[in-house]
Structure 1
Amino acid sequence: MAATLYLVMAMRRPDFDPAAVQPHIAFLDELRAAGQLQLTGGFSDGSGGAYVLCNVDSLEQARAIVARDPLVTLQSSDLTVHEWTTR
C-alpha cells in the first residue's frame, strides 16, 4: 500500500539568521515526538535542508504544520511542501 508523505524543502534566504537553527531543531523534535517526522537533514553545501512529514491527513495540514516552523516565522528560509507518494 502506498503511503503519502510530505517533503518539505527549506532553502536559506540570503539574510539567513543562524539564531533560527535551535528553535527549528526544537520544532522538529516536537514533530518527531508526535510521530509526524520521518526524516530530516541538511544539505552538505549549507544552502538549506529538507524533512519528511508522515501521519499527516492532507497537503493543507502539512502546510499548516510547516507554517509554524521557526524557519518560516523568523523569516530565515523559504519552505515549500510537496506531496510525495512512496511505493
Structure 2
Amino acid sequence: MNRYLILLMRRPQFDPAVVPLHRDFLEDLRAQGRNELSGPFGDKSGGAYLLRAESPEEALAIAHRDPAHTSGGWDITVHEWLAV
C-alpha cells in the first residue's frame, strides 16, 4: 500500500456538527489499518490525515466518503506521499 496525505481546509460554510462524524470516519479507517496519523491544525483552519491505499484513485474515493467532504464544509486535496 502507498501513503497519501489528505489535507482538509475549512470553508466558510463549515458546520461544527460534522466534526464528530469526521472523527468516527477516521477511527474506522484506523481500525482498518488505513489511517496512520491524523489531527487538526493549531490555527483551527483544517487538518490532515495519512491514509494508506493501493492507488491514487482509491485514496481519492476514500477521502470523498469522508463526512468532511460529503458535507461540503471542507476543501479536500489528496497527495501521494513518498516518505523517506
Output the amino acid matched with 2:51. Answer: L
Structure showing greater radius of gyration is 1
The aligned runs of 1:63-82 (5 Å cut-off) are 63-82=60-79
Q: Give aligned pairs, total.
A: 84
Secondary structure of the corresponding residue to residue 72 of structure 2? coil
**1:34-79 C-alpha deviation (Å, 9 max, x unpaired):** 000000010000100000002x100000000001000111111010
- The match for 1:4 is 2
Secondary structure of the corresponding residue to residue 82 of structure 2? strand
Equivalent pairs: percent with the same residue? 51
Find the partner of 1:29 among 13, 27, 30.
Answer: 27
- The match for 1:38 is 36
Output the amino acid matched with 1:37. Answer: N
Output the amino acid matched with 1:43. Answer: F
* TM-score (ref. length: structure 1): 0.93
* TM-score (ref. length: structure 2): 0.96
Q: Distance in 1 between matches of 2:54 and 2:74?
A: 25
